[in-house]
Amino acid sequence: MLNRLLVLAIKAVRDMVKAPDFDRKMLLLATQLANESDMKPLLLSVLEALLETLANQETHEIHTEAITLIRCIVRLVVKLMGEPGANSSILVPTLIGHLNTGALHSKLGLPMSADVISIVTAKTLIESFHATKRSTIIAKDVSWLWRTAYNCAVQGCAEWENSEEAVSDLFDIARNVRRLPWTRAGAYALATAAGSVLRFSFD
């Protein structure tokens, strides 16, 4: 019964975004309620919906807000992955999607239509900041994101079943972000401390 209510709540959030009189403040309220109720799957859906509302906006402030949202989403997905009975086959692609791909379907059991696919991802935002020479604004966020990708890949090697491709994707994400000129110094320091395994994966 609880799962059915959760699915209905997630669907309601998606319908809310498509409503003609949609107000972004409604999603902010939904975020607060989901967080207070400790309903992590619903909170994830709301955060994704908030991110989607930024997809077609191009201001610097919007980009900064989007990278913050992605960081929150990634952190939440990692928490969900650590819970007993977590469905890695759903959560791992969600994690990789927000970090790297150009379009992300919600994988929480709801069929998603083309008009609610998020095109705002960590990869696209990082490239945007780098291209406009505003990299320092999100340097700490980027460092956190690639380290998280690397740590999840290491965890996947030990704990995930039949996830060789996903683990490889996460290592690739970490390596590609590390290769940006403005992240190399910090990445090299971490690689030196972590030893030959990390250096090998980034070479």
Quick one: pLDDT band at residue 146, thresholds 50, 70, 90?
Answer: confident
**Residue 198 · residue 191 · CB < 8 Å:** yes
**Residue 14 · residue 116 · CB < 8 Å:** yes
Show the tokens assigned to 58. Answer: 């191009």
User: Which whole number is the average pLDDT over 181-195?
Assistant: 47
Q: Work out the percent of the chain whose per-residue pLDDT is above 90.
A: 5
- pLDDT (tens digit per residue) in 123-134: 666 666 666 556
pLDDT of res. 49: 81
Closest CA to 86 of 40, 37, 138, 22: 40
Quick one: pLDDT band at residue 63, thresholds 50, 70, 90?
Answer: low
Q: For residues 104 and 111, what is the distance between their CA atoms, to the nearest angstrom?
A: 12
pLDDT of res. 138: 65
Show the tokens assigned to 63. Answer: 């980009």
pLDDT of res. 104: 35
Q: For residues 152 and 148, what is the distance between their CA atoms, to the nearest angstrom?
A: 6
Q: What does the buried/exposed string (b/e) look like for 153-173 if buried means 16 or more CB atoms within 10 Å of the residue's CB?
A: bbebeeebeebeebbebbbeb
- pLDDT (tens digit per residue) in 82-116: 888 888 888 888 888 888 643 333 333 333 333 33
User: Which whole number is the average pLDDT over 55-79?
Assistant: 75
Quick one: pLDDT band at residue 165, thresholds 50, 70, 90?
Answer: very high
The alpha helices in the chain, defined as continuous H runs, are: 2-18, 24-36, 40-53, 60-81, 88-99, 122-131, 139-159, 164-178, 184-194, 196-202
pLDDT of res. 154: 93
Mean pLDDT, the chain, as a whole number? 70
pLDDT of res. 153: 92
Q: Work out the percent of the chain whose per-residue pLDDT is above 70.
A: 61
Quick one: pLDDT band at residue 58, thresholds 50, 70, 90?
Answer: low
Closest CA to 118 of 38, 17, 16: 17
Show the tokens assigned to 51. Answer: 């991110």
Identify which has the larger pLDDT, 42 or 106. Answer: 42
